[in-house]
Structure 1
Amino acid sequence: MSAMTVPNLAIGSDHHLMPVIGFGTAASPPPEPLLLKQTVLDAIKLGYRHFDTSPRYLTEEPLGEALAEAVSLGLVGSRSELFVTSKLWCADAHGGLVVPAIQRSLKNLKLDYLDLYLIHWPVSSKPGKYKFPIEEDDFLPMDYEAVWSEMEECKRLGLAKCIGVSNFSCKKLQHILSIATIPPSVNQVEISPVWQQKKLKELCKSKGIVLTAYSVLGSRGAFWGTPKIMESDVLKEIADAKGKTVAQVSMRWAYQEGVSMVVKSFTKERLEENLKIFDWSLTEEEMQRISTEIAQCRIVGGEVYISKKGPIKSLEEMWDASLSLRVLASFHLLPRHQLVLLTAYQPTNEMYVRTSSDACKMGRNRM
């Protein structure tokens, strides 16, 4: 079978081409390196060219090995055919630490440059401390101007083709825009039929910023996931009428909304299914049903980034009041002392994992 072709979106002032579907590597617990490498190779054979990682996901090294192998095997003609995204972690979100952080990611990935580098969360923590959840006393105010200035330096140095943010609300994104010389190309956030982010979409469209959705399928199986998408009666009815899966309808909806997306599966059949959304479309009526008939509920609250001792003290402050009572009722809020240390990593990539089935049931905080 020949590889399928995934459409691109042009991002940034340089109009760098980003495939609208990316393969995400965030998982709970993190995937076994050999499994991840084989899945990435399978994904490339199917047509995936966009790969999303972060130091937090513990996947940079195996992803880099898989991409290097794909080039050496001739699965792609060269590195330039691939689009790789990584992210700046909270402990490195400080003036003087951003460039060293991207250089570590590049070393882990065995790359000379990233196609896209994102600030992972609008949160800073004490430099050199990489435990997760972040300890209450370790949260610090983010110096947006210093951090964004160094993100711009990453682009000027050729370490990143494009730069952007992740998990930024309208207010926080507008603040970055007010200080930026090089505006963010992308904002990667939770978007799905059950959390449509209409206000944020309008802002990003007006500013030429591409939105990338995570959890567009609900991230079932991850501790931050939800069955709300796959069990949606509206999506099921549309899927049945079109002879498609609920996952395909959800992804097609995002595509028609002008949103790129990062999805994940370690099953070859699912990987292939997720690419089969470009030779059909949803009608205006079906898009309207999704827009108006599905109750809205934020899934990824980011509770572990909130602390009474830190600069962000509530969910309302994290998301700048873009919450509803329905959303608040859906969160599993826990005292911080009850949160389990799920993972920790060192910037040398000497990583280890501690997790349990109980830990995976305890929160909705994307890694």
Structure 2
Amino acid sequence: MSCSMDLTVENHSIPLSDGNSIPLIGLGTYGDPRTTRKGLTYESVKVAIEKGYRHLDGALVYFNEHEVGQAIRDTIADGTVKRDDIFYCGKLWNTFHPPELVRPALEKTLKTLKLDYVDLYIIEMPTAFKPGDTFYPKDENGKLIYHETDLCATWEALEACKEAGLVKSLGVSNFNRRQLELILNKPGLKHKPVSNQVECHPYFTQPKLLDYCKQKDIVIVGYSPLGTSRDASWVNLKCPPLLEDELLVSIAKKYNKTTAQVALRFNVQRGVVVIPKSFDPSRIAENFQIFDFSLTDAEMKAVEGLNKKIRFVELLMWSDHPEYPFHDDY
């Protein structure tokens, strides 16, 4: 993707199929709600915006959207940015898939952020859970209660939200090819998904899904672009830590960069949006410093060759869900 060679700190957005555009790097804002201290998300988002980030990736289910919204509003109020400069992505959680719950869920996000619209709203997972007041509904044996919904009906409710002006662009997350086709082939489709947010990094490069999405003009947003936290409760630890990879270390040395910066640059250079999460001000700044160097074609090929086809984020606890996306090849 040649356009990504001309990216700068000030201008690093790429077009979406609906005429809007998305900045190629954003700040992920997920932090374990049990261990993340109050106010930390707010401080981190504020620092990120001050350092030049314009894309923020959040979700109602992260339990910190109020802090993200406050930081956005405060940096607008002090003149650092205008609302138009900021690209916010919110997510429709698994308990809100029935069509009549979609708009209320988005309205809840808007109320929590205290914003009039979000730039992108995505179906967080294709896996619906039992609707209700709890995000993780469980039966008496502690098993999550699933729900059968029609992804196309959920999508139609999202289209209505776009037409009502509550969201500029619509997308999905963790959808495989079959699930994307379901939406793309929906009779009477009004608005195509512009993006698919999936795990993507040098150990899991997603060549088939990336190729398919390019053909369909769907941008891949890569989560866990640096690998992930080593939290054994939900992360597959069979995979060695990405940032210690010898090839990435050697490329980093050559450019006087960190392995994290090389991993991020690799993705943006192939048109994949990256949303590294950090609540550490120096790391937030470092992750953004990827516009003053570029990888050669040979280096891009070499990093592509690191693909181990191992997911860090397998979500095996939901693998018996009828819409669990990762049984398919892509």
Give the TM-score taking structure 2 as reference length. 0.89
Pick the aligned partner of 1:200 from 197, 201, 209. 209
Write out aligned runs for 1:1-367 (5 A): 4-13=9-18, 15-29=19-33, 31-76=36-81, 78-132=82-136, 136=143, 138-179=145-186, 180-220=189-229, 222=231, 224=234, 228-307=241-320, 310-312=321-323, 318-322=325-329
Aligned length: 313
Separation in 1, partners of 2:62, 2:16 = 24
Deviation at 1:230, TM superposition (A): 0.8
For residue 176 of structure 1, report the CA deviation from its aligned partner.
Answer: 1.2
Q: Kindly state the Cα deviation for residue 233 of structure 1 after the two structures are TM-superposed.
A: 1.5
Residue type of the partner of 2:181? Q
Instruction: Mark the runs of 5 or more structure 1 residues left unpaired by the alignment.
Output: 324-367
Residue aligned with 2:156, SS: helix
CA distance in structure 2 between the partners assigned to 1:98 and 1:39 by the alignment? 29
Equivalent-residue separation in structure 2 for 1:231 and 1:137 (angstroms): 36
Evaluate the alpha carbon distance shift between residue 293 and residue 263 of structure 1 in structure 2; reply closer, same or farther with a 3 A threshold: closer
Q: Which amino acid aligns with 2:206?
A: Q
Q: Which amino acid aligns with 2:213?
A: C
Question: For the residues of structure 2 that align with 1:134 and 1:196, how far apart are their CA atoms?
Answer: 34
The one-character-per-residue Cα deviations of 1:62-108 (angstroms, maximum 9, x if unpaired) are 111111111111111x2111111100011101121101110010000
Deviation at 1:144, TM superposition (A): 1.3
Q: Deviations over 1:109-132 (max 9, x none)?
A: 001000000000001111114243
Task: Tell me if structure 2 keeps the 8 A contact 1:64–1:109.
Answer: yes
2: distance between equivalents of 1:134 and 1:25? 26
Aligned-residue Cα RMSD (Å) equals 1.9
Which amino acid is 1:170 matched to? R
Q: CA deviation at 1:318?
A: 2.6
Q: Is the 8 A contact 1:6 1:20 kept in 2?
A: no
Which secondary structure does the structure 2 equivalent of 1:33 belong to?
A: coil
Q: Describe the shift of the 1:218–1:134 C-alpha distance in structure 2 as closer, same or farther (beyond 3 A).
A: farther
Residue 97 of structure 1 aligns to a residue whose secondary structure is: helix
How far is the alpha carbon of 1:139 from its aligned partner? 0.4
Name the aligned partner's letter for residue 42 of structure 2.
Answer: K
Q: Alpha-carbon deviation of 1:220?
A: 2.7
Q: Structure 1: how far apart are the matches of 2:138 and 2:260?
A: 33
Q: Report if aligned partners of 1:6, 1:21 keep a CA contact under 8 Å in 2.
A: no
Q: 4+ residue stretches of structure 1 with deviation over 4 A?
A: 221-227
Whether the 8 Å CA contact 1:234–1:294 is kept in 2: the answer is no
Deviation digits for residues 318-365 of structure 1 (CA, Å, limit 9, x no counterpart): 324228xxxxxxxxxxxxxxxxxxxxxxxxxxxxxxxxxxxxxxxxxx
Q: 1:4 touches 1:46 (CA, 8 Å); kept in 2? A: no
Q: Shift of the alpha carbon at 1:134?
A: 5.3
For the residues of structure 2 that align with 1:176 and 1:302, how far apart are their CA atoms? 23
Quote the Cα distance in structure 2 between the aligned partners of 1:33 and 1:200: 37
Q: Helix, strand or coil for the counterpart of 1:263?
A: coil
Q: Which has the higher contact order (CA 8 A, sep 6+)?
A: 2
SS at match of 1:124: coil
Q: Distance in 2 between matches of 1:294 and 1:34?
A: 37
SS in 1 for 2:261: helix
C-alpha displacement at 1:237, in angstroms? 1.7
Structure 2 gap ranges (5+):
1-7
Q: CA deviation at 1:289?
A: 0.9
Deviates more, 1:296-305 or 1:42-51: 296-305
Closer, same or farther: CA 235–296 of 1 in aligned 2, 3 Å? farther
Measure the CA separation in 2 of the matches of 1:113 and 1:245.
Answer: 36
